[in-house]
Structure formats: C-alpha cells, structure tokens
Structure 1
Amino acid sequence: MENKKRLPEGTETAAGDAIGFKPLYAQVRERLMRRLVEGEWVPGMLLPSEMVLARQLNVSQGTVRKALDSMTADNLLLRRQGRGTYVAEPEESRILFQFFRLSPDEGSPSFPDSRVLSTSAAAPTNTEKQQLGLDDTDEVIRIERIRSLAGEPILIETLTLPSNRFPDFDHLTIIPNNVYRLYSERWGITIGSAEERLKAIAASARDAAKLGCDPGEPLLLISRVARDLENRPVELRWSRCISRNIHYSVNLR
C-alpha cells in the first residue's frame, strides 16, 4: 500500500513529479520510457520486478503493472511466463511484423530478404525536410534496396535517414536485412512507432526493370515515417510493391 494520501483520480503523480492531469500509470509509463530512451534499459534486458519498480517510484504495484502492460501492448516490452519482463529486441518476430504488413495471398506470412542496390549521401528534398524535420543545411543518407519473398522480388524501397542521427553510416560495409536492429544496436535508436500511407501508382520503367514487371503495372506505394521513443522522426521510407500475389494486412481493434 502506498504511504501517501490518495489524490483525485487523474491527478495522482509518481515520486518527484508535479501534479498533472494524466492518470498515474501514464506518468509512470513516461518515467519508465525515459529509461529506454536514455539507454538505462537496453534491448534484451530483464527488468526489475514490479515490486522493485513500485518501491523505486513510490507507487503501487498495480500502477506499475498497468504501465508495463501498456508498454507491452506497444511491443516495447515482452512478458515471458515465469521469467519476467524484458525489453523487446528488434529481431523478435512479432516486432518485425509490427512494421511489415505485406502477406502472400496464399500461405503463411514470412519476413522478406533484402539486397542493397545503392547507398549515398545528399542534400534533402523538400519532402524529406518536411517529413524528417530537417533544415536546409542538413544532409541525408539514402539507401535503395530490393526485397524478396521466396526468391521473388516483391518491392523496391528507398530509405532516407538524417545524417546527424546516424554518424558514420557511410562507413558500413554491410547493411543487414533488419535495419531497425542496426539502428538500435549501433546508434541506440529504437523505433517505437510508424505512420504509413498507401496509394496506387503505375510502375516506372526503372522500377519495372528492377522488379521484373511491365512498365505501367499497378504498384502499391507505401510511404512510412518511423519515429523513435521520443516521437522524433528518424526514417522516411518509400516502398513500391507488386501486389499481384500479395496484399497489405492489418488488424483493426
């Protein structure tokens, strides 16, 4: 039991915080999120028990559990029966599919392979500046790659990253398939959320040659802005997808 007078619901605060209007569990979540952002908790790490966290934050164990449940629902943490709560790792399959929504029309979903076509540094376009919050003096890194399922190319994509968030990216000799794991392990940037927009387009001659389809064939264009745990944009991605044998799948709740 907490050793303090109960405040009206929605105004109770975690230790050291000024009274606010957020529910207490949401304030506790914010404090725990800081531990992820600041690198105190790293991917794969076992978290302290709910009891220990409750003691540290001077709140009830139930409040801590609700905050952890919220973070687990957002795929930031993983609960392992009988073993505890861990910081989610980008290579976990359910984390991967949180950000990859293409599935074959027949058969089970699988994660695609990748082949990098080019990597370059350049000045940002107006769209890149707007989407990534960049200035005229900033530079970006662009990666173009083809992704395949069962050996068949299904999409070509362009990733744009702000150079100041990814120093020495151009020194990489190998860019792995799972770039979100690379961001996390090398630069301490964890992707916490992403916004996507879908649009039908016709394949350009260049994309058609890379994908092995006819120019003008319908493609699904997916534009994505990925954000870190502080909600700052860190990646702009344009994916042009052959949709003749695949579909975009999402569960609505």
Structure 2
Amino acid sequence: MKRATLRHASGLPSVTERAAATADFRPLYRQVKDMLVARIADGRWTPEQAIPNEFELAAELGVSQGTVRKALDEMAGENLLVRYQGRGTFVASHDEARILFQFFKLVPDTGEKVFPESTIVDTTQIKAPRATSDALGLDAGAQVIRIRRLRSLSGRPVISETIMLPATSFAGLVQAPIPNNLYQLYAAKFGVRIARAQERLKAIALSAKQARELGVAELTPALMIDRIAFGLDGRPIEHRISICLTEDAHYLSDLK
C-alpha cells in the first residue's frame, strides 16, 4: 500500500513528494530539519520567535509528528532552538548565556564560567592571509575584515584574539562599533547566524609581540585556538585565532 502524503495549504508538494522528485535519499527527518534551518537562515524565523507546534509543522510539510519531533530535537541539540516547558519552542538567540555555554571554553580554575570582557585593539580591512583564505574558502587576494582584541577574565587580559571575516558579507563593519558579543552582532546587523565551530588546539610559547600584548614574559607557555565558525548554511564565516594564557584558567570541553 502506498503511503499517503499531505500537501502544503498552498498546494505546494510535501516533503516526501519533493524527495521523490529529486531522488533525495537522506532520512526524512534530516530533510525536514534542513527546511526548518533554512527558515532561520533566510530570516523567516527570527531569534526569540516562537515557531509553530509539531502538529502544525507536520500538517504543513506532509510528514508525521514523529518526523518533525526528531528534526526539532536535533535542532535543539545544536542550540538552534530552545524549548520552554508550557510555552513552546523558540528560535535561539546569540545571547551571552548561549555563547558562554556553546562557544567560549576557557574557564577560570575556580570553576565559575564567566563571559570575558573585550577591548578592541583595531578593526581594519586587509588582504586575506593564506591561512584565512584557505579556512574560509576565499579566492587569493580576497578582502577580509580583521578585528584584533584583548579579552579579560576578572580584569586580567588572558586572550589575544584575531578575527577574520569575509568583507563581502560584512560591509560597513570597519566603521561600526564592535560589541563584546560578536555573534549577536553578526546576526542582528548582517543576518549571519553562527551554527557551529571547529577548533584546533596547540600549545605554544608566546612571541615577544604576543607577550607584550598580554603583559607577560616572552616564551610564556600558552594555548592557541584556531577556530573556523560556520553559518546555518554550512559556509565558513569566521576565522579566529585566540592566544590564551592558562596559568589560572583551563579549556573545558563537555563531551557528550
């Protein structure tokens, strides 16, 4: 017996009909998830907005509630959605609490997670270094916005950070005020939401310049974090190098 499919209220094909037409053999919940993520990426669903319930989405997309639930579960697990008991499901925002939990891993040895304060050193537009053009998939000679800043915990500078962004996606950023919470700025001003990041960690000894910036002796041991952050559509958006002092702090990774 053929499985019946529903159509959108608009008469457009359902998810299952589109999958059959395009020979998309991914699990159905993944196809539903990608469609829902696209609504966040293109601004149809905005941060802190309540989304339709599982029943409404299932009817609209022509799939079971179980399929929708599995898609939403995965989006919640990736911190794209937030569920509130008795209130519903909402699009997550890049507020400080979420950034601290998901993207900032340097924790004081006392154990209390705190959001670092930032001091901007400079913001400028430059030709992308080779490592950055490779990381972001840019053509040779492409322009990037470079942000350099110092980040402090308990009033002490512990991180020297260099952030590179494609100039074509962040026009006007050089002239704009740079807040502490960059990911919120990307989303609010440029419509770019960071979904995930990939990091490489390496132990280094500080150069003379790095040591001066952080107010410590040359060759002091430090941790270098090389991060590529990706948007909702999977494109690399940000290349960030963080040089971290770890005398009184450590990198905390919560493996699940």
Report the TM-score when normalising by structure 1: 0.93
CA deviation vs aligned residue, 1:160-180 (integer Å, no higher than 9, x gap): 0110010111120x2000000
Provide the C-alpha distance between the structure 1 equivalents of 2:65 and 2:218, rounded to a whole number of angstroms: 59
Identify unmatched segments of 5+ residues in structure 2: 6-13
Query: Alpha-carbon deviation of 1:94?
Result: 3.0
Quick check: 1:51–1:61 contact (8 Å CA) kept in 2?
yes
Provide the C-alpha distance between the structure 1 equivalents of 2:99 and 2:111, rounded to a whole number of angstroms: 20
Question: Which residue among 167, 188, 191 is the counterpart of 1:188?
Answer: 191
Partner of 1:171: 175
Partner of 1:4: 4
Partner of 2:86: 82
Quick check: 2:96–2:181 contact (8 Å CA) kept in 1?
no
CA deviation vs aligned residue, 1:34-90 (integer Å, no higher than 9, x gap): 111111111111101111111110111111111100100000000011000000000
Provide runs of 4+ in structure 1 moved above 6 Å.
Answer: none
Question: Which residue among 137, 151, 175 is the counterpart of 1:133?
Answer: 137
Quick check: 2:47–2:93 contact (8 Å CA) kept in 1?
yes
Partner of 2:229: 226
Query: How does 1:1-253 map onto structure 2 within 5 Å?
Result: 4=4, 14-18=16-20, 19-91=23-95, 93-172=97-176, 174-253=177-256
Tell me how large the CA RMSD over aligned residues is: 1.7
Query: Alpha-carbon deviation of 1:15?
Result: 4.5
User: Aligned in 2, Cα 1:153/1:247: closer, same or farther, shift over 3 Å?
Assistant: same
CA deviation vs aligned residue, 1:182-223 (integer Å, no higher than 9, x gap): 000011100011000000111111111121111110010000
Quick check: 2:109–2:250 contact (8 Å CA) kept in 1?
yes
1:251 match: secondary structure: coil
Query: Alpha-carbon deviation of 1:14?
Result: 3.3
Amino acid in the other structure paired with 1:129: S
Provide the C-alpha distance between the structure 2 equivalents of 1:79 and 1:95, rounded to a whole number of angstroms: 17
Quick check: 2:96–2:115 contact (8 Å CA) kept in 1?
no
State the number of aligned residues. 245
Report the TM-score when normalising by structure 2: 0.92
Quick check: 2:75–2:81 contact (8 Å CA) kept in 1?
yes
